[in-house]
Amino acid sequence: MRSHSWELSPKQAVELQKELAPQVVIRDDFGEIRCVAGADMAISRDKKYGYAGVLLFQFPSLVEIDRVHAKVPLKFPYVPGLLSFREIPVLLEAFKKLKGRPDLVFVDGQGIAHPRRLGIASHLGICLDLPTVGCGKSRLCGEYREPGPKRGDFSDLSDKGEVIGAVLRTKEGVSPIFLSTGHRVSLRSALRLTLACHQGRRIPKPTREADRYVAKVKLEDIL
């Protein structure tokens, strides 16, 4: 696990993003995938705490192996484009509790489909030194054409002439998701692996279940 200081101003965080972005590996750099993880976050009502949930699944069966969570005080302000500095410290605490190490992590957020090419999935991948895929429900940046209507149809997500992701239809009749390389995974493999994990729903199971779990953790803490 790689580390850097999280005690940064927004200006320093932007400079660190520019420094880390060239370290993102956008080709396949992984062996056999036997287990995958899904990671997601929630914020407390008073905006003082972050809740992270990480679930581990066998692959390709997607049978759950483990689930862990963490609650950590938030130290970085909400600044568009700097989400990772607010949320990754919480996610890292959850990952430390996992009994096993995933071969691939699906992150609810962007990978290189980010103005400075370092969204939360890419930043987390560098910190964990793990292959990651960014699965966003909405676009952060870039332009695209609506993909075809069938499962598996996709179109390029491009920014300033560079392909930074794909707009993927995971299920016929539902809105597409915004997929991008996080770290150590090519876009082609990200598409293939995401379709292998969606199980007939719009959102792939790892991040879908992580979202449900972290919402439950947050609710139970409130109660």
Residue 41 belongs to some domain of the structure:
yes
Number of compact structural domains in the chain: 1
Residue 15 belongs to some domain of the structure:
no
Give me the residue label for tokens 């991948």.
125
Residue 20 belongs to some domain of the structure:
no
Tens of pLDDT, residue by residue over 89-142, are 999 999 999 999 999 999 999 999 999 999 999 999 999 999 999 999 999 999
Q: Residue 178: which CATH number?
A: 3.30.2170.10
Amino acid identity for residue 26 in this structure: I
Which has the closest alpha carbon to 74: 62, 60, 84, 63? 84
Task: Identify the pLDDT of residue 198.
Answer: 85
* pLDDT above 90 (res 222): no
Residue 161 belongs to some domain of the structure:
yes
pTM above 0.85, yes or no: yes
* pLDDT above 90 (res 223): no
Residue 48 belongs to some domain of the structure:
yes
Residue 67 belongs to some domain of the structure:
yes
Tens of pLDDT, residue by residue over 158-168, are 999 999 999 99
Residues spanned by the domain of 113: 30-222
* Confidence band, pLDDT 50/70/90 cuts, at residue 3: confident
d(CA 50, CA 94): 11
- Residue 88, class by beta-carbon neighbours within 10 Å (0-12 exposed, 13-18 middle, 19+ buried)? buried
Residue 18 belongs to some domain of the structure:
no
The pair of structure tokens assigned to 218 is 């947050």
Task: Identify the pLDDT of residue 66.
Answer: 97
